[in-house]
Amino acid sequence: MAGVFIHKYFAALLMVISLVCTYADDTKDLEIDMETLASRNKLLNDMFEDSLAINSYVFARSEEMCQKLIHARIHKYETSIEPETRAWMLSDCTIRVVERLDPSASRRGNHPDDILLREYGFDEIRKIVDQKHEDFYKEIVQRIDNYVNGLTPEQQRKKTARNLKKWSRKIKNARNLSKKVIAFGKCMRFYYFERGV
């Protein structure tokens, strides 16, 4: 009877050892996955920060344009505006200009805001903003592709790399700038809000 107990104990010990060895072997893969995850997160954070830099540029140029517009209106009508009203007008105008500079916004025909803003360099700013967006999307597609190509063949077969390739392809193959903006937005939403892998 004692022999059977020892055999069961020995069998249980062998199972524990085999499980530990199995998971010890997988620990290396987990470390690689954690490294991949950390580097992927850095890539995504860098892309997000670069998009924020473009948005900051758009906001600054919009505010600058609106200040000129409001100042010209005050001079034209020779009126004084209360500071609170001026701040509200500046805020409202800036929001409207930022919306008009969004590449995914409708650009059909002459929007009433566009006609007035053209006097203050709106078309030139729109060209610069569109070029900044085009350059940004080319750069992030290149960064994603370089990142994925820098992974080991085994890592490239994993879901993380496949998803990054998918988003890179969607942004690259978008028909126009508006579609690229939408694809990039979906990519960021997937990783930041839907906890995509």
- pLDDT tens readout for residues 73-96: 776 666 677 777 888 889 998 998
- pLDDT tens readout for residues 39-50: 888 998 999 999
pLDDT at residue 109 in the model: 59
In terms of pLDDT, which residue wins out, 71 or 35? 71
Hey, what long-range contacts does 128-131 have (CB within 8 A, 24 or more apart)?
128/61, 129/54, 129/57, 129/58, 129/61, 129/101, 129/103, 130/103, 130/177
Question: If 0-12 CB within 10 Å is exposed, 13-18 middle and 19+ buried, where does residue 15 land?
Answer: exposed
- pLDDT tens readout for residues 161-184: 888 999 999 999 999 999 999 999
Instruction: Calculate mean pLDDT across residues 50-66.
Output: 94
- pLDDT tens readout for residues 120-158: 888 899 999 999 999 999 999 999 999 999 988 988 888
In terms of pLDDT, which residue wins out, 47 or 193? 47
Report residue 92 as tokens.
């409202």
**Domain layout of the chain by residue ranges:** 43-192
Query: By C-alpha distance, which of 170, 68, 171, 75 is closest to 125?
Result: 68
